[in-house]
C-alpha cells in the first residue's frame, strides 16, 4: 500500500492526508516501491500488474526509479483493448530525464507495427504518440525538460490535449486531436518501458510513478496530484 503524504491539500483541510488510491476515476497506479525486476504491481482497482519473466529484458530497480536500458527492457500486461471506453482521461508520470527516449505507458496491437499509442519523453519533451491504422500523430509539449527529476501530465477531453511539466501548463506542437485509448482499436497489451509491436520499440527511462485516471479532474485535484508527484519518495 502507498504511504500518505501530508501537505496543504486542495482535497480538504490543511495537512489532510493525500492518498493516490483516492483519486477519482483511478485506472492505474504504479509506484517504484511496488516494483521488482520481474513485476510492477498496479495498485488501482484494475490490478493491471506488469511482468517480465526473461532476465535479460528485466529493468533494474534503483533507489527512486525503475530503470529500463533502451535495448530490450520492457514490462507487459496482456489485456485486450485496455481502457477502450476512455475517449479522454489524464496520465501523470514522474521520473528522471536521461536526455534520451523514455517510454512510460504504451498500449499496442502486438501483431502489427500500427495501432498503438504511447506516452513518452522524446528529445527532452513529453508527448503522446498515436498510430491508428497507419495514420500517426505525435503531439509534444514545447517545454524542454532539464536532465534529472521531473513530473508532468497529459490530458485529453476527447478532442484536444492539455500538457503540464513541473507544475506549469505548456503549449505544444502536433495535431491537437485529443486521440486517446478509445480511438486505437485492436490493442492486446499494455507496456512499460517500450512498445511491444511486431517490431518492438524500447526506451531507457528511469521511471518513478505513473498514475492514470479516466475522470474529468478539477484544477484543485490536478494540483494535489502534481504536489504528490513532485517528490520522488512520495508513494
Task: Break the chain into its structural domains and give their ranges.
Answer: 24-229
Residue 167 Cα to chain centre, angstroms: 16
The DSSP secondary-structure symbol of 35 reads: B
Domain 24-229 class, CATH top level: mainly beta
What is the chain's mean pLDDT, rounded? 93
Instruction: Give the phi and the psi of residue 221 in degrees, each rounded to 5.
Output: -65, -40
User: What's the confidence (pLDDT) of residue 161?
Assistant: 97
**Grid coordinates belonging to 29:** 497506479
Can you say whether residue 229 is alpha, beta or left, with left for phi > 0 and alpha for psi between -120 and 50 degrees? Answer: alpha
For cell 528511469, the residue is 206
Predicted TM-score of the model (pTM): 0.92
Q: What is the mean pLDDT of residues 186-198?
A: 97
Per residue in 84-125, pLDDT (tens digit) is: 999 999 999 999 999 999 999 999 999 999 999 999 999 999
DSSP-derived letter for residue 16 is: P
- How far is residue 32's CA from residue 36's CA, in Å, rounded to a whole number? 8
Distance CA 162, CA 89 (A): 10
Amino acid at each position: 500500500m502507498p504511504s500518505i503524504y501530508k501537505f496543504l491539500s486542495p482535497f480538504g483541510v490543511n495537512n489532510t492526508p493525500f492518498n493516490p488510491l483516492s483519486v477519482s476515476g483511478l485506472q492505474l497506479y504504479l509506484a517504484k516501491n511496488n516494483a521488482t525486476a520481474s513485476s510492477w504491481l498496479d495498485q488501482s482497482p484494475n490490478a493491471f500488474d506488469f511482468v517480465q519473466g526473461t532476465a535479460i529484458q528485466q529493468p533494474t530497480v534503483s533507489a527512486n526509479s525503475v530503470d529500463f536500458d533502451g535495448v530490450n527492457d520492457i514490462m507487459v500486461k496482456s489485456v485486450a483493448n485496455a481502457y477502450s471506453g476512455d475517449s479522454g482521461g489524464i496520465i501523470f508520470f514522474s521520473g528522471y530525464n536521461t536526455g534520451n527516449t523514455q517510454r512510460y505507458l504504451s498500449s499496442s496491437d502486438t501483431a502489427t507495427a500500427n495501432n498503438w499509442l504511447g506516452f513518452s519523453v522524446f528529445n527532452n519533451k513529453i508527448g503522446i504518440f498515436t498510430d491508428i491504422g497507419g495514420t500517426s500523430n505525435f503531439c509534444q509539449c514545447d517545454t524542454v525538460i532539464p536532465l534529472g527529476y521531473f513530473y508532468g501530465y497529459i490530458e485529453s477531453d476527447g478532442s484536444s490535449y492539455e500538457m503540464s511539466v513541473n507544475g506549469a501548463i505548456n503549449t505544444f506542437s502536433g495535431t491537437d486531436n485529443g486521440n486517446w485509448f478509445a480511438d486505437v482499436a485492436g490493442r492486446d497489451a499494455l507496456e512499460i518501458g517500450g512498445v511491444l509491436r511486431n517490431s518492438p520499440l524500447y526506451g531507457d527511462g528511469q521511471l518513478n510513478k505513473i498514475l492514470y485516471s479516466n475522470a474529468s479532474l478539477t484544477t484543485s485535484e490536478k494540483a494535489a496530484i502534481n504536489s504528490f508527484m513532485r517528490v520522488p519518495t512520495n508513494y
